[in-house]
Chain A
Amino acid sequence: MLGGWPPPVLDPAGPFAGPVTMVAWVLFVMGAVVLAVVLIALGVALFGPRKWKRRVGGERLVWIGGLAFPVVVLTGLLIYGLSVTARVSDAPRDGEMRVRITGEMWWWRVAYLDGQGRETVQDANEVHIPVGRPVVIELESADVIHSLWVPRLGGKTDMIPGRRNFMRLQADRPGVYAGQCAEYCGGPHALMGFVVVAHADADFEAWRARQAASAAPSALPGAGVFSASGCGACHTIRGTEANGLAGPDLTHVGSRQTLGAGILPNNQGTMAGWIADSQGIKPGNRMPSYPVLTGRELRDLAAYLDSLK
């Protein structure tokens, strides 16, 4: 199958995207019909026989085509649009599962909230949801305006500093859904990707339990490289002394789908490449390249991080 086909906006995978796709098709049909009407009228006006031209060439056409016709079509569309708007966007209710996603330059901080709104599990650049259930996403920003967009699951909503917005995500089938920052946020905005992973209920609970655990003490040599290189100044690995907050939480980085915010597959090789030359891969991002590590150190570090499942 060709990548990108069918277009994600027209290939909805959940109830917050489906009605919008329906709206899109209605609009496309409307657009095609109106364009055809205009082109036919224009064709008659330009090339039509005199008798036809006379019927088109008067103020009546302006009243009917320019005023009455659009008013009727637009009123219908408006009523339809408003009803879908109301259905798709509904204020969050108590008892719904909540995830807080904070846009940062140029990655996403993800926190799963408990019933009291406290952050329980930390993650980055991907959000895991159970299939068939709506999840309320709280959208915040740590710096500039970002916008979270997962086309197959619904429209986008902005993350605005000093405000908190909401959206809902729901996927009807397990799978991985790509997303991206949609509001220009400077520098490598183009490379600020995101994925939503939808699990069957049981898998989701297992994932959540795994994610809530701290990292087990590791005897791998890479753990030493990690602390000696000062990675802990920016990154947290729960269960170790690394507790930096500037960058993504790495407690379970080995289990993530992607590296560099949705842009690289995640394995030891890409991990090593990212650490050694993150600025070459994603110019301008906040993580410095570490070309000073020896080959063995780099490999050990990658192996250690990869072991954090």
Chain B
Amino acid sequence: MTSETGFDVRKYDRFPTEGSRPDGELEQLEAAWCGPRRPGEWITAINNNIIGVYYVGAAMLFFVLAGVLALLMRTQLALPMTGFLPQETYNQIFTMHGTVMMFLFAVPAVEALGVLLLPQMLGARDLPFPRLGAYAFWAYLIGGLAFFCSLFFGLAPDGGWFMYPPLTGMTYSPGINADFWLLGIGFIEISAIAGAIEIIVGVLKTRAPGMTLDKLPVFPWAMLIFACMIIIAFPSVILATLLLELERALGWPFFDPLKGGDPMLWQHLFWFFGHPEVYIIFLPAAGAMSTIIPAMARTRLVGQPLVVMAMLATGFISFGVWAHHMFTTGMPQISINYFSAASMAVSVPAGVQVFAWIATIAAGKMRFSTPGLFAVGGLIIFVMGGLTGVMVAMVPFDWQAHDSYFIVAHLHYVLIGGMVFPMFAAIYYWLPMSSVRPLSERMGKWIFWLMFAGHNIAFMPMHLTGLMGMPRRVYTYLPGRGWDLPNFISTIGAFLFGLAVLLWVIDMIRNFRPFGPREAGNIHDGPGLEWLPSGYYSVRSVPVVKSLYPLWEQKGLAKEVEEGRWFLPGAAGGERQTLVTSPLNAEPQYVLRLPRPSPWHVFGAVFTAGFFLILTIQAYAVAVVSGVLAIYCIMRWCWFLDAPHNRKTTDIGAGIRMPNYVSGPSSHGWWAMVIVLIVGGMVCLLAGFSYVFLWSRRPDLWQASPAMASLMLHLGVLALAGLCAAVAPRMLRRARTGAETLATALLVVSAVGAATAVGLELRAWWSAGLKPDATSQGAAVFALLGWAGAFAGIGVLMGLYILLRRAFGRLSADRPSTVDLIGLFLAYTAGQAAMVLLLIRLFPGAGP
């Protein structure tokens, strides 16, 4: 086998090492990774074993809260024209139910599962950016709770979870309710993307040596695809929420047809996110199913490569089906046909996975303990949801079913079968990994059967209610249409489901004991690395992985791992470390020093949440203060990054030494920055699409662009900015005297240059008479320039940061990462601004 990195894989044969480990090695490891000792440290903790448990817990809290909202709605709809909930309250509750379930439960829940499980599954000590993960968690928890509490003040959004304008515009939703939605979603965008960065870099760069991609278990595969989909899909909702907020706050007409906007733009942007979102939720859950079913059947997953291919295919196709939510909007026939075909195609990979699970069950012998029950139950429910999914992909049928209770039934079958049941299977399966006691099997079976029955009693009749003509999102219905009985049955089912969840909460209270000295452990005889004996440091030593099912097929592994006879058995220098490996073949590359707990990310999260929430209640001055504090806290946290090392290399076992520091494309920081820039680029690309889309709707409103000479000047400035950013890292590496100063100066020039160019461009358009609140062109041009300008603004903050680092002597030629990453960001900023300028100046030509 050829090596990817030049690492000689024959060195793997030196393991497991012989002889006893040095005295005090384990104690040093435990000291470096020790858990919280004082109460405050439970808050500043960043270890994934702690944050992951919090994260799953918070997601399940939101599941319960949104479930309570569902019960309120079902109570209202049990009988026709009841007055249990007033109209406005019901409209807020159904909006919150959907929003909380999708954004505060489903996405964070699977992400949380990833944070909790991935390091152990991959044989890493922690995720590569633990503090970022903790920051994302706190921003999500604080923001989510505050967002939820808007219900208690009657300020919750009431425009439906997909918030179609113009209903959600200022004219028809003048209150701050809609702003709560838009800004509340801001947190989820932040935490989802932060989590995605963690997961992509974690899966690609921190796998145990030897865990080549073909030995990567299905769950991390699913999480990898999940994270990539977030990177592609979330920019769309980021942009949509930005545009709607700009329209609401400043009157920029993106969606207002009177000034050239189009409500359909929102629908395209929202569903370009919204449909992949469904698979974003489903794929990790499917990955969990593909892990749990083989474990419960005690056999290998049948057709593992097919399952992985199917997940990849799902990821790809899901970006081509968004408009099937829009079959009734009067789209052209040709588009309808395409989206109908794509929507059917996307069910094929789901079928592959379902039959792989069935084949696996047949190949082994299924155990009907609780995780197995939830897995099989989820499979059945998901298949039924998939079948109604094929039905609504048939356009003529969708014209009838769309926006009726048939859809309510369909989506709950898909999401509950495809995500909630697998989530419960996962909780029952993996909980012994984090808890001293497992959950009760007896209770678990009761919970399963109640939930399975409750689900079908609640949602099966809704297919019929829909065919009987009952539309979705109605706070009540008239008697005499035959809708009474099926609605009443649905309500009974919903309460049975609620009872099941209540029993589960009781079971959790009785048996869930996390952070104990010794977990219940591998009671299901699972095959993955996550079942190795572990502490806060994850595994004692990182084994070479030679199989997809290491605990089944590598005999004696657990004992060798616990004796420290594999890689990285200690904590050299008392530091928290993990091994960074190459993305394809997982060959060791360097030792990554991980951060320790600190309060700055917590403060950063508090102030970030504060900024958004205070902005929503329109106390602008306070919001700005909070925002500045958030930036300060985040800079403070970054300040200690890229710090000097005492030693250049670490012995990772068997005399193999690896560097402690790497810069450039093989470093984890470089990967993270590239992912951030992909997110930025996607937002910009979609903003460009919006610009062209708005033009196509009302070309008559388009005015001529400013004089071409100014374009040349601005592009020239941007080229200079890009050049400075590109050469700064090279200058630093020359390591002459003054190299740090030169690099700093270049970066500052680049940032200022980019900001200047964008500013000049804005002024040119303003002088040419284009106003952002007058026409869709104005809105689109200023939004694009605003996006480019925001990057330049962040670039200026980075320039300030690098100046400070230079001033305090925290830059050095032998640790170029800070300069590398800021250079990369600024080069991208200049390039992005140049593309924006070219688009708005040259398309569609010089006006009508």
Q: A2-B482, A143-B166 are in contact. Are A85 and B396 (CB under 8 A)?
A: yes
Chain B proximity of A79: nearest CB distance (Å): 10
- Asked whether B808 is an interface residue with its Cβ less than 8 Å from the other chain, the reply is no
10 tightest Cβ-Cβ pairs between the two chains A and B = A4-B482, A155-B399, A162-B257, A57-B362, A57-B363, A190-B474, A66-B355, A45-B362, A165-B330, A66-B352
Nearest B residue to A85, CB-CB: B395
Whether A53 and B362, one on each chain, are in contact in the complex, defined by CB atoms closer than 8 angstroms, is yes
Q: Which residues of B contact A162 (CB under 8 A)?
A: 257-258, 261-263, 697
Determine the distance from Cα of A120 to Cα of B503 in the docked complex, in whole angstroms.
64
Determine the distance from Cα of A39 to Cα of B91 in the docked complex, in whole angstroms.
38
- Asked whether B360 is an interface residue with its Cβ less than 8 Å from the other chain, the reply is yes
Whether B345 and A74, one on each chain, are in contact in the complex, defined by CB atoms closer than 8 angstroms, is yes
Determine the distance from Cα of A70 to Cα of B354 in the docked complex, in whole angstroms.
12
- Asked whether A244 is an interface residue with its Cβ less than 8 Å from the other chain, the reply is no
Chain B proximity of A1: nearest CB distance (Å): 10
> Which chain A residues in 104-125 approach chain B with CB under 8 Å?
105
Stretch of A126-134, A178-186, A224-232 lying at the B interface: A178-186
Stretch of A23-31, A198-206, A214-222, A245-253 lying at the B interface: A23-31
What is the 8 Å Cβ interface bit string for chain A, positions 73-92, against chain B (1 contact, 0 not)? 01001100110111011000
Q: A3-B482, A4-B468 are in contact. Are A41 and B355 (CB under 8 A)?
A: yes
Q: A62-B303, A70-B351 are in contact. Are A20 and B166 (CB under 8 A)?
A: no
Determine the distance from Cα of A4 to Cα of B467 in the docked complex, in whole angstroms.
10
Q: A46-B376, A74-B345 are in contact. Are A161 and B467 (CB under 8 A)?
A: no
Q: List 17 A-B contacts (CB under 8 A).
A: A2-B482, A4-B483, A9-B467, A20-B396, A38-B358, A38-B380, A74-B345, A85-B395, A156-B328, A156-B403, A158-B329, A158-B330, A160-B330, A162-B697, A166-B330, A188-B87, A190-B87
- Which one, A42, A158, A181, A189, contacts B361 given CB within 8 A? A42
Whether A71 and B348, one on each chain, are in contact in the complex, defined by CB atoms closer than 8 angstroms, is yes
Whether A163 and B172, one on each chain, are in contact in the complex, defined by CB atoms closer than 8 angstroms, is no
Nearest B residue to A162, CB-CB: B257
Nearest A residue to B356, CB-CB: A62
Q: Which residues of A contact B257 (CB under 8 A)?
A: 161-163
Which has the most chain A C-beta neighbours within 10 Å: B306, B395, B404? B395
Chain A proximity of B684: nearest CB distance (Å): 26
Whether B469 and A8, one on each chain, are in contact in the complex, defined by CB atoms closer than 8 angstroms, is yes
Chain A proximity of B485: nearest CB distance (Å): 9
Interface size of B by CB at 8 A reads: 88
Whether A78 and B340, one on each chain, are in contact in the complex, defined by CB atoms closer than 8 angstroms, is yes
Determine the distance from Cα of A132 to Cα of B351 in the docked complex, in whole angstroms.
44
Determine the distance from Cα of A275 to Cα of B384 in the docked complex, in whole angstroms.
48
Q: Which residues of A contact B376 (CB under 8 A)?
A: 42, 46
What is the 8 Å Cβ interface bit string for chain B, positions 334-347, against chain A (1 contact, 0 not)? 00110011001101
Determine the distance from Cα of A189 to Cα of B95 in the docked complex, in whole angstroms.
14
- Asked whether A187 is an interface residue with its Cβ less than 8 Å from the other chain, the reply is yes
Determine the distance from Cα of A31 to Cα of B160 in the docked complex, in whole angstroms.
30
Whether A58 and B467, one on each chain, are in contact in the complex, defined by CB atoms closer than 8 angstroms, is no
Whether B467 and A7, one on each chain, are in contact in the complex, defined by CB atoms closer than 8 angstroms, is yes
Chain B proximity of A107: nearest CB distance (Å): 15
- Which one, A4, A61, A82, A283, contacts B355 given CB within 8 A? A61
Whether B166 and A67, one on each chain, are in contact in the complex, defined by CB atoms closer than 8 angstroms, is no
Q: Which residues of A contact B397 (CB under 8 A)?
A: 20, 23-24, 27, 81
Beyond contacts A23-B397, A151-B400, A163-B257: 16 other A-B pairs, Cβ-Cβ < 8 A, are: A31-B390, A58-B302, A61-B358, A62-B306, A66-B310, A70-B347, A74-B344, A74-B347, A81-B394, A82-B337, A144-B166, A144-B167, A147-B403, A162-B697, A178-B481, A184-B403
- Which one, B167, B379, B464, contacts A42 given CB within 8 A? B379
- Asked whether B745 is an interface residue with its Cβ less than 8 Å from the other chain, the reply is no
> Which chain B residues in 182-228 approach chain A with CB under 8 Å?
none
Q: Which residues of B contact A155 (CB under 8 A)?
A: 328, 396, 398-400, 402
Chain A proximity of B229: nearest CB distance (Å): 21
Determine the distance from Cα of A45 to Cα of B379 in the docked complex, in whole angstroms.
13
Whether A145 and B166, one on each chain, are in contact in the complex, defined by CB atoms closer than 8 angstroms, is yes
Whether B352 and A84, one on each chain, are in contact in the complex, defined by CB atoms closer than 8 angstroms, is no
- Asked whether B480 is an interface residue with its Cβ less than 8 Å from the other chain, the reply is yes
Determine the distance from Cα of A19 to Cα of B171 in the docked complex, in whole angstroms.
40
- Asked whether B476 is an interface residue with its Cβ less than 8 Å from the other chain, the reply is yes
Q: A35-B384, A61-B359 are in contact. Are A27 and B353 (CB under 8 A)?
A: no
What is the 8 Å Cβ interface bit string for chain B, positions 373-386, against chain A (1 contact, 0 not)? 00010011001100
- Asked whether A212 is an interface residue with its Cβ less than 8 Å from the other chain, the reply is no
Q: A39-B380, A46-B376, A186-B91 are in contact. Are A145 and B361 (CB under 8 A)?
A: no
Determine the distance from Cα of A280 to Cα of B402 in the docked complex, in whole angstroms.
30
Q: Which residues of A contact B394 (CB under 8 A)?
A: 23, 27, 77, 81
Q: A66-B355, A163-B264 are in contact. Are A74 and B390 (CB under 8 A)?
A: yes
Whether A56 and B362, one on each chain, are in contact in the complex, defined by CB atoms closer than 8 angstroms, is yes
Determine the distance from Cα of A57 to Cα of B357 in the docked complex, in whole angstroms.
9
Nearest B residue to A89, CB-CB: B333
Chain B proximity of A52: nearest CB distance (Å): 8
Determine the distance from Cα of A17 to Cα of B473 in the docked complex, in whole angstroms.
24
Q: Which residues of B contact A23 (CB under 8 A)?
A: 394, 396-397
- Asked whether A48 is an interface residue with its Cβ less than 8 Å from the other chain, the reply is yes
Determine the distance from Cα of A147 to Cα of B258 in the docked complex, in whole angstroms.
20
Q: Which residues of B contact A193 (CB under 8 A)?
A: 478
What is the 8 Å Cβ interface bit string for chain B, positions 158-184, against chain A (1 contact, 0 not)? 111000101100011100000000000
Q: Which residues of A contact B474 (CB under 8 A)?
A: 189-190
- Asked whether B388 is an interface residue with its Cβ less than 8 Å from the other chain, the reply is yes
Q: Which residues of B contact A188 (CB under 8 A)?
A: 87, 475
Whether B391 and A27, one on each chain, are in contact in the complex, defined by CB atoms closer than 8 angstroms, is yes
Q: A20-B396, A156-B399, A184-B472 are in contact. Are A66 and B353 (CB under 8 A)?
A: yes
- Asked whether B804 is an interface residue with its Cβ less than 8 Å from the other chain, the reply is no
Q: Which residues of B contact A58 (CB under 8 A)?
A: 302, 359, 363
- Asked whether A284 is an interface residue with its Cβ less than 8 Å from the other chain, the reply is yes
Q: A3-B482, A151-B469 are in contact. Are A86 and B358 (CB under 8 A)?
A: no
- Asked whether A136 is an interface residue with its Cβ less than 8 Å from the other chain, the reply is no
Q: Which residues of B contact A67 (CB under 8 A)?
A: 348, 351-352
- Which one, B158, B336, B404, contacts A186 given CB within 8 A? B158
